[in-house]
Structure 1
Amino acid sequence: MLDDLDRRLLRVLQGDPTLSGADLADRAGTSLSKCTRRLDRMRASGVIEGVEAVIDWAALGYAVEVSLRITLDKTQPRAFDDFIAAAREVPEVLEIQTFLGRVDLRLSVIARDMAQYQQLYRDRILTLPHIADIEALMHIARVKSDETLPI
């Protein structure tokens, strides 16, 4: 269970994961040694899974983002496993989510432009196994994108 200090450390860490241990401890109001022990404990227990770089793919020339809602042919016993394994091999697929309901999966796909997206869609997406239905939703704007948890 997390106590107040753990939650304070997590809030500060989420706000700026580039802080040094000393700065993190200072902002959370604790000593460096206690901060280090708490972070190590939270890493070992899986509360903190890692720290990652967030790269703005649009700054790298990717101007198109599409969400693909996919329904699989569930008469095939390995439909999910086969599809997910194949979709993971497509570098432009940034995210794969599975659902319960009419839609089985959602893929988040990026491309540099519409021409590249069309080529990717024809050559890589439509060839993924066991697709029964697919619906493309073109992203217009990202209104909120926040991974910060309310701790």
Structure 2
Amino acid sequence: MDAVDRKIIAELQKDGRLTITELAARVQLSVSPCHRRLRELERTGAIRGYRAVIDRSALGQDFEALVFVTMSTTERPVVAAFEEAIARLPEIVQAERLFGDPDHLLRVVTKDLAAYQQFYDEKLATLAGVQRVSSTIVMKHIVDRV
């Protein structure tokens, strides 16, 4: 990956809806070479996809919590089952496996505190292998880059 590829990625991070003509102009390439580079970045997985950035409050999803999960065991089948289960829960918009304690960090979005409590009680706390769950409420987004 060279400087031009990095410029292509930077421009698409700013605006993923650029046409190939607009992108080529911004990175100072003609359309064909820019298109070839873009397709190669996609083929190699440097660009994994394109997404819309959604205002969650516009969808009525105003409550957000960071949830720390400590597992009761590190046995591979238990951890794998837990990770597969959380991947299916739509309230979890981001999940990370961590070194040390806690074992996982989850970003959970719901309508409100009551919906979060229901999610916590009925879904998250019931998953096999969960020893401890600790939550903190997100007050404000300061930096929100993808």
Q: Paired residues, what number?
A: 146
> CA–CA distance in 1 between the matches of 2:110 and 2:61?
5
Residue 104 in 1 paired to residue 103 in 2? yes
> CA–CA distance in 1 between the matches of 2:52 and 2:23?
18
1:50 match: secondary structure: coil
**Alignment correspondent of 1:24:** 23
> CA–CA distance in 2 between the matches of 1:47 and 1:55?
23
> CA–CA distance in 1 between the matches of 2:18 and 2:90?
31
* Greater shift in the superposed pair: 6-15 or 123-132: 6-15
Asked if 2 retains the 8 angstrom alpha-carbon contact of 1:68 and 1:106, the reply is: yes
Displacement of 1:37 in angstroms is 0.7
Displacement of 1:8 in angstroms is 2.0
Q: Percent identity?
A: 31
2:105 match: secondary structure: strand
> CA–CA distance in 1 between the matches of 2:75 and 2:4?
50
Q: With structure 1 as the length reference, what TM-score do the two structures score? A: 0.90
Asked if 2 retains the 8 angstrom alpha-carbon contact of 1:111 and 1:117, the reply is: yes
Displacement of 1:76 in angstroms is 4.7
Alignment of 1:60-71 (within 5 A): 60-71=59-70
Structure 2, unpaired ranges of 5+? none
* Greater shift in the superposed pair: 33-42 or 8-17: 8-17
**Alignment correspondent of 1:116:** 115
Q: With structure 2 as the length reference, what TM-score do the two structures score? A: 0.93
Displacement of 1:79 in angstroms is 2.0
Deviations 1:30-56 (A, max 9, x none): 100010111111111111111111112
Structure 1, unpaired ranges of 5+? none
Asked if 2 retains the 8 angstrom alpha-carbon contact of 1:73 and 1:79, the reply is: no
31 and 73 in structure 1: CA distance in 2 versus 1, 3 angstrom threshold: same
